[in-house]
């Protein structure tokens, strides 16, 4: 996974989390450690026998390691969800480490099921989100090392490293399976494509421009 791009890594986050399914209801037991091999699929994850639970079910290693950001976006996301830490199942939380090359971008995206608090560990980040009410207001800021920022659930947001050096952040999300929708990929890279007359009218651009954009995603 070392050379994967930010977009790809985020997508994998979605994938591995779903295989584990997930449940953000309140826990009814002390814990419900994910039984990742189960064939019963539901709105949440089946559990291991609680008597067979071990400390490693609740832990994960490697968040101090820089990821490879040599990809088009200059960004890499390392997720910690029930796939990586089965004990998270039913607890309503997950975290990620994000690495940014200089000028690296975590592109415009939303999490349909989680708010996110981000803490800058190294470097600086230009961050922002767009509100639905007041309509289309852009709330943004440049963060320095040690700064924290919160992105409310469901809103379009981004982070960009404006600096000359690498940046690193840890972000906590309020769901074990936040989901991620990268705007450009969803709109111009879906399979099958959204028909061009819908894209033309939504973005008020012509068919040729649409075709160009679709080759990119």
Residue 150 lies near a copy of itself (rule: CB under 8 A): yes
- 116 marked as part of a ligand binding site: yes
Total residues binding a copy of itself (CB under 8 A): 134
Q: Which distant-in-sequence residues (6+ apart) come within 8 Å of 176 by Cβ?
A: 17, 22, 23, 24, 81, 82, 88, 89, 90, 91, 92, 93, 94
Site for a copy of itself in 72-131 (CB under 8 A): 72-73, 80, 85, 87-95, 103, 105, 107-108, 110, 112-113, 115-117, 119-121, 126, 128, 130-131
Contact pick of 25, 70, 207, 211 for a copy of itself (by CB under 8 A): 25
- 76 marked as part of a ligand binding site: no
Contact pick of 5, 9, 101, 187 for a copy of itself (by CB under 8 A): 187
- Comparing CA positions, the residue from 43, 119, 41, 53 lying closest to residue 85 is 53
Contact pick of 2, 37, 61, 164 for a copy of itself (by CB under 8 A): 61
Please give the C-alpha separations between residue 135 and each of 10, 100, 151, 155, 196, in angstroms, as whole numbers. 28, 30, 16, 12, 27
| Known binding-site residue numbers for oxalate | 106, 111, 116
| Known binding-site residue numbers | 106, 109, 111, 116, 157
């Amino acid at each position: 996974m070392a050379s994967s791009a930010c977009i790809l890594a985020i997508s994998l986050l979605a994938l591995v989390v779903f295989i584990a399914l997930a449940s953000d209801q309140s826990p009814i037991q002390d814990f419900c450690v994910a039984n990742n091999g189960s064939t019963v699929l539901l709105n949440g994850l089946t559990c291991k026998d609680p008597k067979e639970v071990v400390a490693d079910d609740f832990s994960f290693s490697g968040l101090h390691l820089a990821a490879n950001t040599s990809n088009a976006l200059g960004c890499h996301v390392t997720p910690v969800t029930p796939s990586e830490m089965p004990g998270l199942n039913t607890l309503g939380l997950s975290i990620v480490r994000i690495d940014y090359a200089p000028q690296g971008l975590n592109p415009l995206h939303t999490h349909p099921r989680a708010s996110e608090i981000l803490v800058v560990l190294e470097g600086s980040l230009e961050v922002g989100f767009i509100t639905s009410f007041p309509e289309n207001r852009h709330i943004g800021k440049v963060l320095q090392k040690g700064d924290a920022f919160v992105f409310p659930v469901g809103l379009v947001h981004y982070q960009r490293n404006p600096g000359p050096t690498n940046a690193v952040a840890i972000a906590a999300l309020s769901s074990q399976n936040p989901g991620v929708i990268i705007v450009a990929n969803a709109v111009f890279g879906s399979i099958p494509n959204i028909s061009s007359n819908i894209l033309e009218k939504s973005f008020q651009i012509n068919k040729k421009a649409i075709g160009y954009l679709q080759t990119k995603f």
